[in-house]
Amino acid sequence: MRTKLLPLAGLYLVQGLPYGLQSGLLPLLMRARGLSLARVGLTKGLYTPWLFKLAWAPLIDRRGSPRAWLALSTAALGLVCALLAALPPLPSGQGGLPAAMVGLLLLLNLGAAVQDVALDTLTMQFLEPAELGPGNTVQVVAYKLGSAVAGGGLLALFPNLSWPLLFLLLAATYWLAAALAWAAPDLQQLPWSQPSEHTPCHLQDLLAVPGTLWTAGFVLTYKLGEQGASSLFPLLLLDHGASASELGLWSGLGTMVCSIAGSSLGGALLTRHWKLLPLLRLVLQLRLGGLACQTALLFYLDTSGASLGPSTMLRVALLSLCLQHFLGGLVTTTTFTMMMHCSQLAPRTLQATHYSLMATLELLGKLLSGTLAGVLADSLGPNPCFGVFLVLSALTLLDLDLAPSTLG
């Protein structure tokens, strides 16, 4: 299994680079050159190609092989980065990104989204059911590490890193990854799609796969309470007197380390033959307990004379923040393993499309929660808002009682 996981680790690490680049590094570079916060925020629209993965997932299912799609899309990402390196550096002032740069960044996201579908499909065909736990640990951890490297790690290592050199390094990395995807001996054994396998794909075909309806509903809702709380809790601690510098350290680096540790533990437990659904139930119960503690802490801080400051209560709050991200990493790895297991029950010519449907719903649920959390807090107040998050997390736990036995 180690010979399978090593190439997957390298490929998933490279897959995390575009997200880290655009969510971490690019906003810093834009703001440093004087662009307005509104202009910086508008760059989120560059992620649009990720919402249309279902449009090309059937092509990956029915034309060629996932290895070929992965190698070609990764090489194409290297070409886009080389073109970005040839552009002038980011302009100063309020004018926004040049049109050529916007177009190339959209192409970067399009290639990354195709690469994402191809790599997930390859992983499903590459791994045996018993290997999905370690495989999804590699997926989540390597992706987060790649995102962290591109999101600020390069800038921290090389403070004077220029725009052309940055994208030339990324281009070289992509081309090495494309060579790995094409030349890795184990990956060469994956079959190509045959013309006789090309049948139309309809939504009812996807929904007919055992466990699909329940899994779709679960992945759409399982992060609603967690994502809303994790996006608001650090801001509320700041409102109650926590130090911005200390909070930034723990909510940035500390939570990332804890999330990766939780993801790694999830894969280790599944490797030791823990059953998916019992493990998921245990972790969801722990997550609900942690969220209840955070809610109680917020109610306490609203009492007369209560404050965080440099106190034991602040350390408790920061510990609860890290604990929730640790449990969140555990939940994510276990849920992604369940998603992949469900997609493996589909015919091979539907697996890429099926998993893309699950992954799109999972992403939609997280975006929905993160977007509406602030609106909910402003309209209801922070404490009632956290009460809603508790209810949503409890409903997710109850939903687990309806899980089909085919998901293990």
Secondary structure of 111-125 in HEC code, one letter for each residue: HHHHHHHHHHHHHHH
Domain count, the chain: 2
Q: Is the dihedral of CA 262, 268, 274, 275 positive or negative?
A: positive
Q: From residue 121, give the alpha-carbon distance in Å to each of 133, 199, 348.
A: 16, 18, 9
CA distance 202 to 211: 17
- Do 121 and 154 reside in the same domain of the chain? yes
- Do 34 and 167 reside in the same domain of the chain? yes
pLDDT at 368 (0 to 100):
76
State the helix-helix crossing angle for 2-15 and 99-126, rounded to 10 degrees: 160
- Do 279 and 314 reside in the same domain of the chain? yes
* Domain closes at, from 180, 198, 216: 198
- Do 155 and 8 reside in the same domain of the chain? yes
- Do 236 and 383 reside in the same domain of the chain? yes
Copy the structure tokens of residue 400: 């687990």
| Residue 273 backbone zone (phi > 0: left; psi -120 to 50: alpha; other: beta) | left
CA distance 245 to 248: 5
pLDDT tens across the length of the chain (408 residues): 667 788 888 888 888 888 777 776 776 677 666 766 566 666 767 777 877 877 777 877 777 778 888 899 999 999 999 999 998 876 665 566 788 888 998 899 898 888 888 888 888 877 777 777 778 788 888 888 888 777 666 666 666 677 788 889 889 999 999 998 888 776 666 555 554 444 556 778 888 899 999 999 999 999 888 888 887 888 788 777 777 666 666 766 677 788 889 988 988 888 877 888 999 999 999 999 999 998 988 888 877 666 665 567 777 888 888 899 899 989 998 998 899 889 888 887 788 788 888 888 887 887 777 667 777 887 888 888 899 999 999 999 998 988 988 886
CA distance 125 to 133: 14
CA distance 224 to 243: 28
Closest CA to 146 of 86, 84, 80, 77: 77
CB 354 within 8 A of CB 209: yes
- Do 214 and 236 reside in the same domain of the chain? yes
- Do 291 and 315 reside in the same domain of the chain? yes
- Do 9 and 152 reside in the same domain of the chain? yes
Cβ neighbourhood burial of 200 (10 Å; 0-12, 13-18, 19+): exposed
CA distance 341 to 140: 16
- Do 14 and 143 reside in the same domain of the chain? yes
Look at the chain and count its residues: 408
pLDDT at 313 (0 to 100):
76
CB 314 within 8 A of CB 329: no
Residues 6+ apart with CB under 8 A from 339: 215, 219, 355, 358, 359, 362
pLDDT at 3 (0 to 100):
72
- Do 276 and 150 reside in the same domain of the chain? no
Closest CA to 173 of 70, 81, 47: 81
Q: Is the dihedral of CA 63, 13, 231, 325 positive or negative?
A: positive
At 288, is the secondary structure helix, strand, or coil? helix
* Domain closes at, from 198, 215, 235: 198
Q: Provide the residue range defining the domain that includes 16.
A: 2-198
Q: What type of residue is 282?
A: L
CA distance 384 to 379: 10
* Domain closes at, from 138, 164, 198: 198
Copy the structure tokens of residue 100: 């050529």
DSSP secondary structure code for residue 91 in this structure: P
- Do 240 and 162 reside in the same domain of the chain? no
Residue 166: give its domain's CATH number.
1.20.1250.20
Copy the structure tokens of residue 383: 């404490």
- Do 140 and 158 reside in the same domain of the chain? yes
Closest CA to 8 of 111, 124, 108: 124
